[in-house]
Amino acid sequence: MDCKQKRGGHGSWSRAVFHLVTLSPVYLVILLLLAACRTNIPASPTAATAYPAATAYPAATVYPAATAYPAVTAYPAATAVSISTTTPAPYPAPALAATAVPPATIAVEQLADARFETYLPFVASAVEETAVSVEPAAKTPQPSPTPIPTVDFTAVQAELRAQGQELATVKIGFHVGVGGNSDGLEEWMRALDAAGVPFFLKSVDNAQPILLGQELMKASGVPHVLVYRKRAGDDYDWDVPNYDLPPEQAAAIHWQMHRDVFPPELDPSLVWVETINEVDRNRSEWLAQFALATANMAIQDGFNWAAFGWSSGEPEPEQWQGPAMLEFLRFAGSNPDRVAIALHEYSYLRDDIADAYPYKVGRFQELLRIVDSYGIPRPTILITEWGWTYETVPSRKDAMQDIAWASRLYAPYPSVKGAAIWYLGSGFSHIADDAQKLIVPVTNYTLQNYFVRSQQPEPVDVEANRP
């Protein structure tokens, strides 16, 4: 008999005792058995002593998102400074066997329309690059990749310096991230490194390509320009600081967060680190104080730091000229190997890279004009995002024409270290699949072209660079 079932099926025990004397002996025995059963039911266990709750840590401060700012107001073009130049004759392509640096060798890409473009080496100034259409070989297995005729950059540089001039190479590189499509990126890196040409590479949340560039640079001595930024993970806003705090306090918090997650495999003395991105231009003086504090901390910790990451078309000229901003620009100009200005230059149009030039692409010239006017040394400029729109890339033919123009635009300015084509990472309507198609033609163009500049900084001449 299940005592538990009986426990819940009878009336109160007081009523049973009441009837005890009137019941027959049989019933009396039954009642005595039930009483014995009840006495064997264990008492309810005593509840465990509740432990006090763990002390709650204060919630992390939620930093407000950057205040949206109005559309860019166009400003008058800077007065062009005319300079007299003589266009040098094209430098002949040297024999590959005589190159001081081993020539790069990469596979020639077969395009969808069964044609590809190759660019012949020449000295660029007023001379236009000439694209020569070449019929590719039949699509049969090749025992080895097709070599690309490569300029002997070491020989060219030596000859130009003997003439009081300087070599400038193509500065257009790539922006990578996590995922996406970067097939061929390593070949681009190795080809340029072998030819002695610095490449420009920006990566977000993916240290692997930066590590490869770093190791190539250590082995070859070619001064590649590598930029790393963290933006994903946790609940922290990695892109913008807390504008509600005093700038120095916000800088200390934001710098420590980024410093502590910097990939340990990367050498901070060889890599530029960005900690802010597309910040609020309407807070330019606050940001200047923030930037100066961050730059000092970064240098003390052995890092090279790039400030701002302004959106394309920003900031306005007057926002470069506030007292705090001028103080930061003087500091950056005095420390060009440790502090840089990060800019973004997009046309925001797929079919016109030079739309509204020089207010979007080419806007870096306004910064140079302003620092020149104040007698400030030109700071290092990193164009860490460059392109057409966030989601589209033109056809390879049109894109390469735009890249050739932009290469001529940036070549005269040694303080401009490069521009990263957006984007080989994931998202953004799978833009990586189209941007990846530019890796081979950009490699070809870079290995076969160079520019000549004077050994002194070029005056800003917007008209000379106008498309």
pLDDT tens-digit map of 435-455: 999 999 999 999 999 999 999
The answer to whether 202 touches 424, Cβ cutoff 8 Å, is no
pLDDT at 171 (0 to 100)? 98
d(CA 283, CA 73): 16
Tell me the average pLDDT across 254-279. Answer: 98
Tell me the average pLDDT across 152-165. Answer: 97
Peptide bond before residue 63 is cis, with ω within 30 degrees of 0: no
- Decide if pLDDT at 213 tops 60: yes
Any idea what DSSP says for residue 362?
Answer: B
- C-beta pairs of 33-39 under 8 Å, 24+ apart in sequence: 34/6, 34/10, 37/1, 37/3, 37/6, 37/7, 38/3, 38/7, 38/13
The answer to whether 134 touches 214, Cβ cutoff 8 Å, is no
pLDDT at 97 (0 to 100)? 27
Q: Higher pLDDT residue, 189 or 65?
A: 189
pLDDT digits (tens, 9 = 90+) for 228-257: 999 998 899 999 999 999 999 999 999 999
Closest listed residue to residue 305, CA positions, set 291, 315, 319: 291
Burial 221-233 (b: 16+ CB within 10 A, else e): ebebbbbbbbeee
Helix (H) or strand (E) holding 401: helix 396-410
Of the pLDDT bands very low, low, confident and very high (cuts 50, 70, 90), residue 457 is confident
Structural domains of the chain sorted by starting position, each given as residue range(s) with its CATH number in brackets:
3-39 (no CATH), 96-454 (3.20.20)
Please, which residues have CB within 8 angstroms of residue 315's CB and are 6 or more apart in sequence? Answer: 281, 284
State the average pLDDT for the chain. 78
- Decide if pLDDT at 431 tops 80: yes
**pTM > 0.85:** no
d(CA 134, CA 118): 7
pLDDT digits (tens, 9 = 90+) for 163-185: 999 999 999 999 999 999 999 99
pLDDT at 93 (0 to 100)? 30
pLDDT at 121 (0 to 100)? 39
Question: Which residue in the block uniquely carries the two structure tokens 């104080």?
Answer: 289
- H helices of 199-358, in order, are 208-220, 247-261, 284-300, 323-334
